[in-house]
Amino acid sequence: MSFMRKITISTDKAHINNFIIQIINHDLALGKHTYIHTRFAPEPNGYLHIGHAKSIYLNFSIANFYNGQCNLRFDDTNPVKENIEFIEAIKNDILWLGFKWSGQIHYSSDYFDQLYEYAKELIVNGLAYVDYLSYDKIREYRGTLTQPGTNSPYRDRSVEENLTLFEKMRCGEFTEGSACLRAKIDMKSPFIVMRDPVLYRIKYNSHHRTGTKWCIYPMYDFTHCICDAIEGITHSLCTLEFQDNRRLYDWILDNISIDNHPRQYEFSRLNIEYTIMSKRKLNILVNNNIVEGWDDPRMPTIAGLRNRGYTAASIREFCRRIGVTKQDHNIEIAALEACLREELNESTPRTMAVINPIKIIINNLPVGYHEKIVMPNHPNKTDMGTRQVTFSSEIYIDCSDFKEHNTNKQYKRLVLGQKVRLRHAYVITAESLVKNKQGDITVVYCSYDPDTLNKVPKKSDSNKVIGVIHWVSAIDGIKSEFRLYDSIFTLPNINKIDNLMLALNKQSLIIRHGIVEASILNLVHNNDKLYRYQFEREGYFCTDNYYLNKCIPVFHRIMKLK
């Protein structure tokens, strides 16, 4: 216990608890460690997604909780798929989420020289060999879960021969795929990862950091454990699919001369319904122009969620709520939305926007009439102040809020011959309408009751509950574009489906042109910032600076109201 006391835990950090925290507490109590060091080690082959946020939150909060350290290490061992755009995006997303790595950024490629020496050490100890089998043959010889593997005919080369051949691999004397370095473990192991896994393969690709210095690149399993050990990581946290690989992680560290032996622990991946959590699959959406980019607001990437209007705090809160276990789960998107909804309900100014406008002309007001009505910016937060909204003889309402005929008693909106209240304004009655040649309603003529501004309707209205609809003045309302998002896929368990293209939601983006209250110009002071609103009865929306060149404001729908 004495070691535990050395570590100060401030109370505001004491909210995380999970099985990994319990393991760490146990290690500290036993004196196995006096200091906690974690790492987040993404492969820079795409943008980070919300699944990575779970891992980031876990690794960085643990370091924070124990006053330890969390490294950021780019796992850049495959020059074919990795690039600098991804590295920059990943750094940016981590910082945006509110986390900062300890010290400088690390790269697996920083250790290529050391990794090469450790590989030679395995060869010298008779624990690795250069194989000439093709990748297909290696796979064939590997066996299956029910069938043991078969030894490669090249398995028993001498140490000297292996050292020479490995050096030749390094010098570029082999073509890609014609030779590789494999660990010599056990082709009959019940764990397929232990059946002589490949440690190095040949690739004649320039690396974004090491250029053409190397034409052999170490595999993930060989690299990861050694990098962890070199960096002094104490707890190496990863997702459950690496459970079997833990044996290889330990085998490698046990068989090279390195002092530190970090321990790997696995937790379950985050999956969310109707979306995919794999950079490789998200890349398919980007490359096939299904979305506009990695940061498209429909994407489950951190950058996409940010453009969609998510706050870093809401994503952290989501990670806190889902916790860390070993159970697989497919979380409802509503659980993520709830974290932001609670925040937006408190923080967003209420505003009116008409997304599918239909014109209303008030018969009993003179043409051009307008007046200012003061409205609260939030129903129960007076500190958010008020704004002045123009009411005029011509306004817009949403076409879904008007019906010529209605038999549905639940429909509490405007119907020809009946009344409705305009939000924070007057009661109007629909009197007549005009249709175009196609039969669509173009204008509804109404009368207004001047005695109903913010008053409950008079008793004479037979105590009927009058519906309330939102509206925008035609005099100063601002033409705007609304981008209405839905999930990219039509199936909740899309993570398990091979052909993503068959489950695409063709309605994942609907663009509408409508009108928003002029007051948004007062609320939007600064183009660099993203502003969030609750458009009454429509949902939460945010501004988009990306589309500013369109000359009209563009709003993303973050989510519908409940």
Least Å distance, CB 225 to Mg ion, is 16
Q: Which does 269 bind (CB under 5 to 8 A by kind): ligand ATP, Mg ion, none?
A: ligand ATP
Q: How many CA atoms, within 13 angstroms, populate the side-chain half-sphere of residue 16?
A: 30
Q: Is 538 helix (H, G, I), strand (E, B) or coil?
A: coil
The answer to whether 283 contacts ligand ATP (rule: CB under 6 A) is: no
Give yes or no for residue 52 binding ligand ATP (CB under 6 A).
yes
Q: How many residues of this chain interact with Mg ion, rule: CB under 5 A? A: 1
* Distance of alpha carbon 158 from alpha carbon 129, whole angstroms: 9
Cβ atoms of 160 and 140 closer than 8 Å: no
Using CB positions, name the residue nearest to Mg ion: 43
In the complex, the smallest distance separating the C-beta of residue 269 from ligand ATP, rounded to whole angstroms, is 4
Class of residue 318 by CB neighbours under 10 A (exposed 0-12, middle 13-18, buried 19+): buried
Cα–Cα–Cα angle for 232, 237, 239, nearest 5°? 150
Please, which residue, 225 or 270, has the CB nearer to ligand ATP? 270
Out of 37, 42, 197, 217, the residue judged to bind ligand ATP by CB under 6 A? 42
Active site residue 279: yes
Shortest distance (Å) from residue 292 CB to ligand ATP: 20
User: What are residue 352's phi and psi, to 5 degrees?
Assistant: -110, 135
Burial of 346 (0-12, 13-18, 19+ CB in 10 A): exposed
Taking the C-alpha atoms of residue 86 and residue 81, their distance in angstroms, rounded to an integer, is: 10
Residues numbered 23 to 62 that lie near Mg ion (CB under 5 A) are: 43
- Enumerate residues 257-276 that contact ligand ATP by CB under 6 A: 269-270
**Region from 38-46, 328-336, 376-384, 419-427 binding ligand ATP, contact rule CB under 6 A:** 38-46
Tokens of 189: 């192991």
269 is a catalytic site residue:
yes
Q: How far is the CB of 341 from ligand ATP (least distance, A)?
A: 22
Residue 81 appears among annotated catalytic residues: no
Binding test (CB under 6 A) with ligand ATP, winner from 199, 238, 353, 444: 238
Which among ligand ATP, Mg ion, none contacts residue 364 (Cβ within 5 to 8 A by kind)? none
Please give the C-alpha separations between residue 418 and each of 394, 464, 501, in angstroms, as whole numbers.
18, 11, 47
Beta bridge partners of 540: 534, 559
Catalytic residue (choose from 201, 279, 316, 483) = 279
Could you tell me the CA-to-CA distances from 293 to 282, 296, 533 in Å, in that order?
A: 10, 5, 25
Nearer to ligand ATP, 277 or 430 (CB): 277
Report helix angle 50-65 to 312-322, nearest 10.
80
**From 203, 269, 359, 537, active-site residue:** 269
Q: Which residues bind ligand ATP (CB under 6 A)?
A: 41-43, 51-52, 54-55, 238-239, 269-270, 277-280
Catalytic residues: 43, 269, 279
Which residues contact Mg ion (rule: CB under 5 A)?
A: 43
